[in-house]
Amino acid sequence: MKMMSDGTIPEHHPHCLGCGSENPAGMQLRTRLDGDVVRGEVTFDRRQQGAPGIAHGGAVATVLDDALGSVLVVLETPAVTANLNVSFRAPTLLHQPLHVEARVVERDGRKLHLSARLMDEQYTTLAEATALFLVVDVVHFTQGGEALPEAWSTWGSSTT
């Protein structure tokens, strides 16, 4: 398990465990482990606006994908999103602190079935996702020609 002594998952942006960059839409998702569930908080701002005052659906999907990626950090398993299915249940308003959670539903060989949920301050569901992540060898991530975070060198690379 990859987490700090206070239960938080290291400053991550999942893409860049250890590199400290923001995710593609400039959102900061801080996550921690609560039992088997990754929980986090995020607030959207104008950069993620779709309709006036409302978050763009792609930004909502990004946060859900990021939360799902945090599950990989906990599992210390390199994997990629093969399929992401998002249901938008209610408008996600800007400037409101929101809750996110993500968990493993089932593992079947290389297939990780995960789920995630975005909720408002009262824990009303705004969007939910189911995803298929496929475990890959760490070599998968060298295709971009960039150095990989040192922390990944200890991660399981078995894809069986």
CA distance 157 to 24: 26
Bridging pattern class, strands 79-88 and 37-42: unpaired
> How many residues bind to ligand 3IX according to rule CB under 6 A?
18
Pair 110, 134: CB distance under 8 Å: yes
CB 88 to ligand 3IX: min, Å: 19
Structure tokens at 101: 């959670």
Which strand ranges, in their side-by-side order, compose the sheet holding 125-135?
A: 30-34, 37-42, 98-108, 111-119, 125-135, 79-88
Stretch that binds ligand 3IX, among 27-35, 74-82, 86-94, 113-121 (CB under 6 A): 74-82
Which CB sits closer to ligand 3IX, 52 or 109?
A: 109
Which CB sits closer to ligand 3IX, 122 or 160?
A: 160
Pair 156, 76: CB distance under 8 Å: yes
Beta-carbon count within 10 A of 75 CB:
19
Binders of ligand 3IX among 5-24, rule CB under 6 A? 14-15, 17
Q: Mind telling me the catalytic residues?
A: 65
Binding residue (CB under 6 A) for ligand 3IX from 33, 38, 40, 69: 69
Residues at the site binding ligand 3IX, with contacts judged by CB under 6 A = 14-15, 17, 65-66, 69, 72-73, 78-83, 111, 132, 134, 136
